[in-house]
Structure 1
Amino acid sequence: MLQFSPLSRASTLLVTVGAVLLLSLPGPAAAQATRVETQQVEETPRIETLRLTGSVSAPRTSLLSTAEAGQVAALHVDLGDQVRQGERLLTLDIREAEIERQRAQANIAQARAERDDAQRRLNEANQLSAQQNIAASEQRQRQTTLAAAEATLDAQQAELALWELRLSRHEVTAPFDAFITRRESQPGEWVTPGDTLMTLVDVTSLRLDFSVPFSAYAQMDNATLDIRLEGDPQWYTARTQTRVPQDASSRQFLLRAEPTDTLTMLPGMAVEGRLRLEGDIGPSVPRGALIRRPDGSVSVWLARQEDDAWRAYEQRVEIGSGHDGNVAILDGIEVGDRVIVVGNERLEEGQSVSLIDD
């Protein structure tokens, strides 16, 4: 008969108790289910967001010149001034043109006197002709003289109108409401037609210009645009005005827009844009449901019901563009799948889960 020491009996007892405890511990499948929140995958429009860079431009910019050569007599505005349409900006020396206008007036007076004298002589000839005291040739001569005098008067009146027009061109006025952004002339300077005297910019209806890839052209009908000005953290909505094809080699087109809000802008300011393009309809998931692996792959956890129990299974997916916290799924899941959006940080394949939303 075998004999056991007290120490051997104690060791055997510990081993037996340990084995019993190990057999009684629940395995992974029998562990308490992890509570998770899920969302059923639905079809939604796939929104692609393009980041754009652009600038603020003015619809009207005018490089003012003069129609007459002359010396600058006075400048009535300075750099940075805001002017109204028709406001006087610059005046040329008008003394020579004024003398020519006065000469034209004197010539008109002389031509009018000669015309009146020719008319009087013709009237006398007509009276004498009735009495047969003047030759018909003399009467015709006086008619010709009157016609020449009237033509001379018309020419002198046209000459006066020309000098009055030239006098008016000695003043440069604002063609529209604007700011003076450049001034390139000084009093006493001689200027000629074609010289840029100053630059006016209309800042009352500024627009936003962006260069957009041609690949987005066909999707522009339902596109929406948000803009953010340089130095301003807030985004604003903008309304597209027109699309202008550019040089084909650039493979881009010009998108012109205007903000729907009243913003403080100046021409040349940089502006950032977010162009949202609505594409095909397909499944999407919240961004928080995505699990990004070190190897660059992306997956989601799906909750699937098996024998009245929910279990978690990892599924690799191919993702597309994101919008408003959702990401389009191009491949890997289907509409109707239940994706885990909360509690997916430390799941294991086949792990039992409890749905918060059940």
Structure 2
Amino acid sequence: MPSSHILRFVLSPCLAACLTAGVSLEVLAQQTRVTTAVIEEAMIVEFLDVSGSVTAPRTARLSSEVEGRIAAFPVAIGERVAADQTLLTLDAEEARFEARGAAADVDEASAELDDARRRLNEARRLRESRSIADSELNQRANAVAVAEAVLRRQTATRERWESRIDRHRLTAPFAGMITARHVEIGEWASPGAALMTLVDLNRLMLDFAVPLAWYPRLETAALEVQVPGGSQWQDAEIIARVPQEDEAARQFLMRAELETSGTLLPGMAVQGRLRVPGAEGPVVPRDALLRRPDGQVSVWLAQEEDGEWRAQQRRVEIGASHDGQTAVLEGLTAGERIVVEGNERLEDGQRLALSDS
């Protein structure tokens, strides 16, 4: 038989493996058009989604230092107030009576002191002419000392009543908004009982519950947040991380602050995203990944053999994903060509026509 009738060929390792697996030569001979991309290295970034809420660290439930009937309540719920602004006044008529009486006692003690000093000065002049005994001089000096002490005591009593009158007026310890009123005019206020709630809206915080495993990683983490009604992610500054007392929770408190928080109110829910950079490694488009029911992940590579492109499947271990890109921890190296479109029905060793070549 002529040698020209003999078909001689050598199977590549990839083709041999495909034939062993039962893949027909017809399938391998067919060219499938695919889109590929060259694997590049990039910074592998890990993300963690967290949920949190807006809190107001400066929230005060204001109460009175003295008891009394509420005489005036000049602020309303939702009203913004300035620091030291009067928020509530108690009836201080009785305290004013006591203060006026104390003031009269001060005047009386002052007059007695003036008289005692006059008598002492008179005794000193008589002492020069030896017209008064030393004992009388000492007695008048003691009378001045007693009168001075009485005046100091009466002055302190007057100041105490004046201070008590001031305490019948409740003022704002800081600027903020009145978010609750717990009493009304005419009701009786007792020391320590909450009369209203004041919230500082100028510096609101964001509190998140974060898995405890992330506690040491916050040193290099960045935080982005999305506020209710917003579509954009905003950078936020992590200002504190506080371990929880309940060890069973396996979480810790992360507190953050937005540069501008004008649209936020306490109690609002916010979404957060922690971003932790790692080492550089290969990343691939998410569409290139094929996930199997058993949890394994694989990709199709385009390998050039004898001037032709052929498909080769490879299992990989993947990491975090972001913006359509997924980090590959094991299985790929930079510079390899990966199939990103047309990878749904490929077979090992199948001929490829690259749309991007």
Question: Which of the five TM-score ranges fits, normalised by the shorter chain?
Answer: 0.7 to 0.9
1:302-340 deviation digits (Å, cap 9, x = unpaired): 111222222111112222221221112232223332211
1:157-168 correspondence to structure 2 within 5 Å: 157-168=155-166
Match of 2:284 in 1: 285
Match of 2:40 in 1: 42
1:1-358 correspondence to structure 2 within 5 Å: 27-31=26-30, 33-247=31-245, 248-358=247-357
Amino acid at match of 2:74: H
Amino acid at match of 1:317: V
What secondary structure is seen at the aligned counterpart in 2 of 1:335?
A: coil
**Greater Cα offset, 329-338 or 85-94:** 329-338
**Structure 1 residues 191 and 262: CA distance shift in structure 2, 3 A:** closer
1:5-50 deviation digits (Å, cap 9, x = unpaired): xxxxxxxxxxxxxxxxxxxxx944444x434332232333322221
Name the count of aligned residue pairs: 332
Q: Give the Å deviation of 1:85.
A: 1.1
Q: Give the Å deviation of 1:208.
A: 0.5
What secondary structure is seen at the aligned counterpart in 2 of 1:160?
A: helix
Q: Separation in 1 of the partners of 2:42 and 2:217?
A: 17
Q: Separation in 2 of the partners of 1:151 and 1:38?
A: 99
Q: Separation in 2 of the partners of 1:197 and 1:263?
A: 27
Q: Separation in 2 of the partners of 1:145 and 1:216?
A: 76
Please say if residues 204 and 261 of structure 2, whose CA atoms lie closer than 8 Å, have aligned partners that are also in contact: no
Q: Give the Å deviation of 1:63.
A: 0.7
Q: Separation in 1 of the partners of 2:251 and 2:338?
A: 39
Q: Give the Å deviation of 1:344.
A: 2.0
**Greater Cα offset, 274-283 or 117-126:** 274-283
1:98-142 deviation digits (Å, cap 9, x = unpaired): 011101110010000000000000000100000011111110110
TM-score, structure 1 length as denominator? 0.87
Q: Separation in 2 of the partners of 1:66 and 1:321?
A: 55
What secondary structure is seen at the aligned counterpart in 2 of 1:197?
A: strand
Q: Separation in 2 of the partners of 1:225 and 1:167?
A: 50
Q: Separation in 2 of the partners of 1:200 and 1:225?
A: 29
**Greater Cα offset, 286-295 or 199-208:** 286-295
Q: Which has the larger radius of gyration?
A: 1
Amino acid at match of 1:257: A
Please say if residues 240 and 256 of structure 1, whose CA atoms lie closer than 8 Å, have aligned partners that are also in contact: yes
1:273-300 deviation digits (Å, cap 9, x = unpaired): 1112223433221101111234443210
Please say if residues 237 and 261 of structure 1, whose CA atoms lie closer than 8 Å, have aligned partners that are also in contact: no
Amino acid at match of 1:355: L
Please say if residues 211 and 251 of structure 2, whose CA atoms lie closer than 8 Å, have aligned partners that are also in contact: yes
Q: Separation in 2 of the partners of 1:273 and 1:175?
A: 32
Match of 2:9 in 1: none
Q: Share of identical aligned residues, percent?
A: 50
Please say if residues 38 and 303 of structure 1, whose CA atoms lie closer than 8 Å, have aligned partners that are also in contact: yes
Question: Structure 2 regions of 5+ residues with no counterpart?
Answer: 1-24
1:86-108 deviation digits (Å, cap 9, x = unpaired): 11111001110001110111001
Amino acid at match of 1:309: E
Amino acid at match of 1:96: E
Q: Give the Å deviation of 1:203.
A: 1.0
Q: Give the Å deviation of 1:250.
A: 2.2
Question: Structure 1 regions of 5+ residues with no counterpart?
Answer: 1-25
Please say if residues 29 and 350 of structure 2, whose CA atoms lie closer than 8 Å, have aligned partners that are also in contact: no
**Greater Cα offset, 239-248 or 97-106:** 239-248
